[in-house]
Chain A
Amino acid sequence: MNSPALRQLWELGRLALRNALRRPLRSGLTALGVAVGMAAVVALGSLSLGAQRALTQQLERLGYDVVLVLPSAAGPGPAPGSRGRLPLNPALLERVEGAERVGAWLREALPVAAADAQGFLPVVGVYPDPDPSGGEGPLWGGVSRVEGRAPGPAEVLLSAEAARDLGVGVGDAVRIRGRTFRVSGIVSWGGGGAPERGALFLPLEALWALVGEREGITLAWVKARPGYDVVRLEQDVQQALREAGAGAGALVQSSRRIFEVVHTALRILNATLTAIAAVALLVGGLGLLNTMYTAVVERTREIGVLSALGARPGQILLLFVLEAGGLGLLGGIAGVVLGYGIALSLSAVVSRFVEGAALAPGASAGLIAAALLGAVGLSALAGLPPARRAALRPPVEALRYE
C-alpha cells in the first residue's frame, strides 16, 4: 500500500463500501437484481454446456463414419405382433461397397423367468454375436465392466440390472419364452444414458428363433471403410435396401448428417439461451442504474463537501464506479452460486423424469470468470453515467442542494 495511487484506491474503496452499507436494504436489493440476472446466465450457460457435452459424448460413442438404418415411421408398417421392426437381415449390409463393419440389434419384450422371479424384460438380439469386451459401437460404447464372457449357443448375456432383478449370476439358468439359457456374463454401463440398460442379450438369430422370425431389426449400423465417404456409403446402403425390397420402410441416416442437425439445434439453443440471459442481465443492470442515480441525488450535498475539500472529479467518479462495481461483484458471486444450484436442480429433475437422460451441468472456470467479470463490468458501466453526473456538478451548486 506504498503507492499513493493504490492508497487512494484503497481509501475510495473503503468509502464506497461504507456508503453501500449505510443503505443495506437498497444495496442488498440492487445486488439481488444483479444476482438474479447473473444466476440466469450461469444456470442457462452451464445447462447448455452440460447438454452439449452429453450430446457430443453420445455422438462420439456412435462415431463420425457410421450410417444408421432404422424403421421409418412413414414406412408400410411393422410386421404383425411387433412395433418398429424393419424386416431386414443385416448380413445383406455386409455386401455394401464401402462397409467395413456391420452391426444390428432387435429388441423385444419377452417373458423371462429365473428360479425366484419372472417378468417381461427387454431381450436384445445382437448381430454380430454380442461381445461387449471391445466397448465399441452404439450398443457397447460406455460399457464399464464385463463379468464372465460373451454368450455361446443357448447362452445369454445379462445387464447388471437384469441380473439383480432376476437374482441370478454367471452360470445360472434363465428361461426366455419357455426356453432355457445359461448366463454367460454380466455387463455394466458407467454413467447414464446406456441404450439397453436392464436388458438380456443373445445372438440375433437366437432371438429370431424365439419369436419365430427369419429376419427383422430395430436398428442397424454400417461403419465406413477408412477413407470412404460416409455420405456415399449412405447412398450405397439405400440402394442395397431398395434392391432387397426393404427400402420403403427404412430410414437411412449418416452420423455426419445427425451431427449437423444436432449442432444446428445446439447453436439455436445457445443463441436462444444467450438472448434470455441478456434480457435478465439488462433488467439487473437497469436496477443498478436506478439505484446509483438515486444515490447521486441523495448524496448531492456530500459530493459538494468532497469537492469543496479538494476531491477531484476523477476521484468522485471512481468512488461511485467502485460502489457500483462492488455491488455487481457481490451480486455476481451470489448469482454464480444460485445459478449453479438452479442448474443442478434442473438437471436432477430432467434426469429423474426423462428416461436415459444423464444431464450434468457443465461448470467451466471460463463461464464463472466471464460471469463475474460481466457482473462487475456491467455494474460499473451502469454506475458510470450517475457517477459522471456527480463528478461534474459544481461544488457550490451541490452544497446549496436541499
Chain B
Amino acid sequence: MHEQKRDPSAGARRCRHPGFVGLGLGILALGLGGLVAAQAPNYFQQYPGGYTRAVYEIVTEGLEDPIRLGWTVEPASASDSDDRLRVVTTNEVIARRDQLETGVANGVAQAQLLLQDEAIQALLANRESLEPHTVFLLSGGARFVTGARETIGGVPAICGLLTDPEKPDRRTFLAIAEDPTVPFPPWMQLEEEKPSGGRPHTLSVCTSLALTALAPGRRFVEVFRLQLVEFERRE
C-alpha cells in the first residue's frame, strides 16, 4: 500500500505565465502520473524501505527549458508494523504559454513510450546481469552495446547504446543503475537521424560511449532526454 500525492504548486512558483499554469501543470501532473505508474509495479514491490529522493530533468523538442520531475518515497509512519509508503511527485516547468501543452505532452509521451519499450524493459529486468564493454542481444534483433560504468546524478550506472534494426534512423543512449531504488534509468537520450534542424548529438554524460556513438556521414539529433540530476538515499 502506498499513498501518492502530486504537488503542482511547485511549478507555479517558477512559471512566468500563471494564467496558463493550471492547464499546463494539469497535463504535466496527469502525464507524469502515468509515467510513474508505468514504472511503479516492479519498483514498489522491490523497494527495500527507507527514504529516497530523486530529481530528473526531461529535455524534449518543443520546450526550451527542461521539465523537472521530483520523486520522494518514504515510510508513511515511523511504526514498523505499517508497511505503507508515502510517495510524492513534483513537477516543474518554465515554458511559453504556446509551448506548455504540446511540449509537455510530447515529453511525457516520449518518456512513457521509452519506458514501456520491450528492449528497455528487458534491460531493466536484468540490470544485475549487465557488464561494461559488452554487446547484448535483445528481442527483435536489437543490440545494447555497453560502455563504462559511470556516475550520473550521484548514482553508478552502466552506460550503453541501444539500436534496433527495425528502426535504423533512431538510437537510444541509456544508463542503467543497479540500485533498484532509482525509479527510472539515470539517463535516457533518444536520437533520430535528421538532415537538418534539432539539437545535434552531444554526450553530456557517459562519455565512454563517444566512440560507439560515431556514425560517419550520418547526422543524429537529440529529440528527448531524461537525466537524473539529484539523488538521495537513507535507510
Contacts and interface: CB of A to CB of B under 8 A. Distances in A.
Contact of A120 (B41, B45, B129, B166): B129
Contacts of A82: 42
Interface in A341-365: 352, 355
Nearest to B126: A120
A161 B129 contact: no
A81 B123 CA distance: 13
A77 B41 contact: yes
Main secondary structure of the interface of B (DSSP, over half): helix
Contacts of B129: 111, 120
A77 B43 CA distance: 12
A120 B141 contact: no
B122 interface: yes
B46 A121 contact: no
A80 interface: yes
B126 A121 contact: no
Contact of B41 (A83, A198, A199): A83
Contacts of B195: none
Contacts of A166: 137
B45 A121 contact: no
Interface residues of A, number: 26
B141 A118 contact: no
A216 interface: no
Interface string A60-73: 00000000000000
A270 to B, nearest CB: 30
Nearest to A79: B45
- Output the residue of B42, B118, B139 with the most chain A CB within 10 A: B139
A118 B125 contact: no
Contacts of A115: none
A78 interface: yes
Contacts of A198: 139-141
A163 to B, nearest CB: 12
A199 B123 CA distance: 16
A108 B129 CA distance: 15
B138 interface: yes
A109 interface: yes
A119 B138 contact: yes
Interface residues of B, number: 21
A78 B40 CA distance: 11
Contacts of B139: 109, 121-122, 198-199
B121 interface: yes
B137 A78 contact: no
A110 B41 CA distance: 18
A82 B42 CA distance: 7
A118 B135 CA distance: 7
Interface string B22-38: 00000000000000000
B125 A109 contact: yes
Interface string B128-144: 01000011111111001
Contacts of A110: 126
A298 interface: no
Given A109-B139, A355-B140, A120 B122 contact: yes
B125 A78 contact: no
A81 B141 contact: no
A121 B138 contact: yes
A80 B137 CA distance: 25
Interface in A179-224: 197-199
A126 B44 CA distance: 29
Interface string B109-130: 0000000001001110110010
Given A118-B134, A121-B138, 20 more contacts: A81-B45, A81-B46, A109-B125, A111-B129, A117-B137, A118-B136, A119-B136, A119-B144, A120-B126, A120-B136, A121-B122, A121-B137, A122-B122, A122-B139, A161-B141, A165-B137, A166-B137, A197-B140, A198-B141, A355-B166
8 contacts: A77-B45, A83-B121, A109-B139, A110-B126, A117-B137, A118-B134, A120-B125, A161-B140
